[in-house]
Amino acid sequence: MAYELIYTSAERGLRPGTRGFCTVAFTRGMPPPQVQLLEAMSAYKSLYGVHEAPSGPEPVSWSHYRNNLAGRDVTILSRVGPTAADHTGRTNKLAHHVLVPARERAVGGPVWVSQQPGFFIDAWDEPAHYLEMPKAIPPGDGSGGKAAAWEKLTGDAGQASCLAEEYLANPSGVVLVMFAPGMDMLALLGESMALLPSSARWQVTYSTYFTGLPAGATCCWRCCVAGSDVSRETSRLPGVKVIDLTTPLPTVPAGQLAELARHGRPAAAKATVEAPAPQPRPRSRPAPERHLNMLNLKPRKPD
């Protein structure tokens, strides 16, 4: 069963006595530890202060995290971002989380699932209530076409292979992707993930707007706003690979994945690259990351 939870600002929350930023819906029967975990993952940091005029769009945090909960590995897909003003007229956010069972993981991988129409919501205007039916996880895979989003942004679709190559070389490594607001990070990560063997895709964790690592979670591909404090902190982690999308990128070496990104996968063809064996996950946050804090920017309003 795939559980889901929705968290936003409301006049009345699902649990008695809750209001303001709170849970407004979750799947009936969802264990309390899972509810608490997803609530703790519902933070959002605005790029702009309350009285500051936005100079660009606010990023949306699309993420795939793996966490250890009571000795059990859980897979979490999330969308957290700005939404319409709340009942008081103040700025608001909406977090939508889905716990994906291992047996329901689509071949396409976590980005592909997140991109499916209607899988996530970006607005809430209903009274708080329990969700009676489990969340349906769409099956299937992507088209395997060329990396059009990478080509449009960088001029070379082959740049999509850099993330995939880094993961295959070091599955537990961290890649920092620095971006500017307005870049479609979910599309870029999706094209890179499509180059991986299907057996590896659900091993890759990511955040399209990374502001800090949730307790007990892992995150391989961390997309940070260029010039932010968290970007600088992440770049100093041991062994981190940096891809800066705000500057010209180095030429991509010739290779199988680069050619797949440039030309797409032929019909019925299968990649011959080997998927790395799943790596053991640490049960606690590694020491170098204990001081990896949220962006040092003023939030629009406190949670």
Question: pLDDT grade, residue 114 (50/70/90)?
Answer: very high
Dump pLDDT digits (tens) for 195-240.
Answer: 999 999 999 999 999 999 988 888 999 999 999 999 999 999 999 9
182 Rama sector, left if φ>0, alpha if ψ -120 to 50, beta otherwise: left
Identify the residue whose tokens are 């969802």.
30
Task: Return the closest-CA partner of residue 191 out of 215, 156, 225.
Answer: 156
Using one digit for the tens of pLDDT, what is the confidence trace for 69-87?
Answer: 766 788 999 999 999 888 8
d(CA 96, CA 8): 9
Query: Given a cut of 70, is residue 3 above it in pLDDT?
Result: yes
Query: 82-87 long-range contacts, Cβ below 8 Å, gap at least 24?
Result: 82/44, 82/46, 82/58, 83/8, 83/122, 83/123, 83/124, 84/123, 86/8, 86/9, 86/10, 87/9, 87/10, 87/11
Among 21, 31, 150, 138, CA closest to 80:
21
The reported pLDDT for the residue numbered 86 is 84
Predicted confidence (pLDDT) at residue 294 exceeds the cutoff of 50: no
Per-residue pLDDT averaged across 262-278, rounded? 60
pLDDT at residue number 273 = 46
Confidence of residue 120 (pLDDT cuts 50, 70, 90): very high
d(CA 67, CA 37): 9
With left for phi above 0 and alpha for psi between -120 and 50, is residue 118 left, alpha or beta? left
Q: 290: left (phi > 0), else alpha (psi -120 to 50), else beta?
A: alpha
pLDDT tens per residue, range 153-204: 999 999 999 999 999 999 999 999 999 999 999 999 999 999 999 999 999 9
Domain-by-domain residue ranges, the chain?
1-142, 144-269
d(CA 182, CA 59): 7
